[in-house]
Chain A
Amino acid sequence: MVLDDNETILLYVRKHWILFVVHVAPLFFLALLPIIFPALIDIFLPQSLERFQDAGWALYFMWLTILWVWGFLLWTEYYLDVWILTDRKIISADQKSLFNRQMSTLELEKIQDISIEVNGFIETMFGYGTIRVQTAGEVRKFALEDAYHPEEAKQIIMGTQEKVREDILKRQSAYIRDGIGY
């Protein structure tokens, strides 16, 4: 964890939940498949599956167990892919897969510009888009694609950045006023 002492988390920005639903929906189909398939066999070859019933159900529950684990793997990949806004910085945790994770941090006072992009009908309807943060003096851009409520996230980040800048100005003023360093 890259949080400093006394650092407070203000906001988690994640991808829209609809993207997780799209990834996890095939698992529901796969869960129903072993029921649909024998049902079809039963229609064309009645009573042919009767003696395999107990073994069949045991195998089916093993299959459900595998899908259960698979579902939580997908959820973990979705949930750990996050931007964390603290009172000092933005932490970007880019969880591409379970074995591929990139973490980077960005000090709030270094932010120069925040832009959001909402492209197309689906992104507009579901209210998600890309947030991009440009830092001063660096070509590198921070970006979170498919972020949920990007406009609100932008407002909160900008508000926090403003507070950080005010704090820095106050500290500099106090430093000059108290004559430290002269």
Chain B
Amino acid sequence: MNTYSQVATLSNTVLMWVFGIVCIGVILMSLLLWYHWTRYNMKDPVISFAQIVYFLGLFILLFITLTLLL
């Protein structure tokens, strides 16, 4: 393994770790948000719409990140 591939492997490993940590944080925060939206929604359809936008946007962002990583 030459120096360049060692650096590349290390970089990918570190990036995957960072991505994993970000994913765990995002999941925890999403659960917290989802709890608030379902518990205090006060029959408001705007919150249901926001939920869809949030999870759709999150899916797109994580999908692009994963595509760039792999």
Contacts and interface: CB of A to CB of B under 8 A. Distances in A.
Contact of A68 (B32, B37, B44, B57): B57
A55 B26 contact: no
B49 to A, nearest CB: 11
A98 B36 contact: yes
- Counting chain B residues whose Cβ lies within 8 A of the other chain, the interface size class is 20 to 34
- Counting chain A residues whose Cβ lies within 8 A of the other chain, the interface size class is 20 to 34
Contacts of B42: 1, 9, 12, 82, 84, 93
B62 to A, nearest CB: 6
Given A72-B54, A79-B47, A65 B68 contact: no
A54 B43 CA distance: 44
Contacts of B64: 61
Contacts of B58: 65, 68-69
Contacts of B26: 65-66, 69
Nearest to A72: B54
Contacts of B54: 68, 72
B46 A79 contact: yes
A25 B57 CA distance: 18
A58 interface: yes
Contacts, number: 67
A57 interface: yes
Contact of B65 (A3, A12, A58, A75): A58
A116 interface: no
Nearest to A9: B43
A29 to B, nearest CB: 18
Given A58-B69, A62-B18, A62-B22, A80 B40 contact: yes
Interface in B1-46: 11, 15, 18-19, 22, 25-26, 29-30, 32-33, 36-37, 40, 42-44, 46
A24 interface: no
Contacts of B29: 69, 73
Given A1-B40, A73-B33, 9 more contacts: A3-B43, A12-B42, A55-B11, A55-B15, A59-B15, A62-B18, A66-B26, A68-B61, A69-B33
